């Protein structure tokens, strides 16, 4: 009997899976990507902080957890950024054309085994730092002039691969923009991070997340890249915040710099 009980315990340990964090629809959030998260920027108003994987450290995330916040760690999963500590690991053949809006970044060949090895290492870093989830950006290179013959199927497979790798490490994951593949990846995502669906009249596509009980962390940029800290006007606020099914969205207004300035709806 003792041996059987021991075997059952071992089997349970081997087959158990780490529970993946699933935030609720309407979860409050803040996103700060271009500067390390400072203690004074941590406010009780926001449950979730979306912060950069490389310019922050484990002690920052430990502090968030001590204060009962969650940490989503941002990484670019589909573009080459020359200022990252692992940038020298990318091969020339991994790098394609510059991104239209970010000319210092280049699209990556998401089919590359080397790219995936680097992304696996980034997920290892996220897990080691204690991130609750990851925000992988630029996964829709198939819809741009990437310099590669990428298909939507390539992108869907890549995003679902990222989800599997994240979940294996106990990390939640969200879909960043890329509304053309929502149906194919929704079941593996815990949220969406969207930029400017109100301005682009695309918010309808993202309601699938809310209806599935998963939040849409939604950003509008009414000030553009301005560093002005004053509140936006009522007309701009309504344009950013008031649209069909907006109750399903966790909307914040930010500047393009994505520093600590924020205004809610």
Provide the domain count of the chain: 1
Answer yes or no: is 10 within a domain: no
Residue 173 domain boundaries: 21-264
Digit-coded pLDDT (tens) for 98-123:
999 888 999 999 999 999 999 999 99
Answer yes or no: is 9 within a domain: no
Digit-coded pLDDT (tens) for 250-260:
999 999 999 99
Region for residue 26 given its phi and psi (left: phi exceeds 0; alpha: psi -120 to 50; beta: otherwise): left
Q: What is the pTM of this model?
A: 0.92
Answer yes or no: is 13 within a domain: no
Please report, rounded to a whole number, the percentage of residues in the chain having pLDDT higher than 90. Answer: 89
CATH number, domain at 27?
3.20.20.70
Answer yes or no: is 3 within a domain: no
Q: Count of alpha carbons within 13 Å of 177, Cβ hemisphere only?
A: 17
């Amino acid at each position: 009997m003792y041996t059987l009980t021991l075997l059952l315990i071992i089997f349970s340990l081997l087959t158990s899976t780490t529970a993946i964090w699933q935030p609720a629809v309407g979860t409050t959030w803040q996103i700060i990507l271009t500067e390390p998260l400072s203690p004074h920027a941590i406010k009780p108003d926001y449950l979730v902080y979306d912060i950069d994987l490389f310019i922050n450290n484990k002690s920052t995330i430990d502090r968030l957890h001590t204060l009962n916040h969650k940490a989503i760690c941002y990484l670019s999963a589909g573009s080459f950024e020359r200022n990252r500590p692992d940038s020298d690991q990318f091969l020339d053949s991994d790098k394609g054309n510059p991104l239209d809006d970010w000319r210092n970044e280049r699209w990556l060949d998401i089919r590359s085994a080397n790219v995936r090895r680097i992304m696996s290492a980034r997920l290892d870093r996220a897990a080691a730092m204690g991130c609750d989830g990851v925000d992988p950006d630029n996964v829709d290179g198939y819809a741009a002039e990437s310099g590669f013959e990428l298909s939507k199927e390539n992108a869907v497979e890549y995003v679902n691969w990222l989800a599997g790798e994240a979940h294996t490490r106990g990390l939640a994951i969200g879909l960043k923009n890329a509304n053309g593949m929502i149906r194919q990846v929704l079941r593996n995502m815990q949220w969406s991070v969207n930029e400017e669906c109100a301005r682009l009249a695309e918010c309808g596509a993202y309601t699938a997340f809310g209806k599935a009980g998963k939040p849409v962390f939604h950003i509008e940029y009414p000030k553009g890249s301005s560093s002005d800290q004053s509140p936006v006007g009522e007309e701009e606020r309504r344009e950013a915040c008031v649209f069909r099914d907006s109750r399903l969205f966790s909307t914040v207004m930010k500047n393009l710099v994505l520093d600590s300035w924020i205004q809610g709806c």
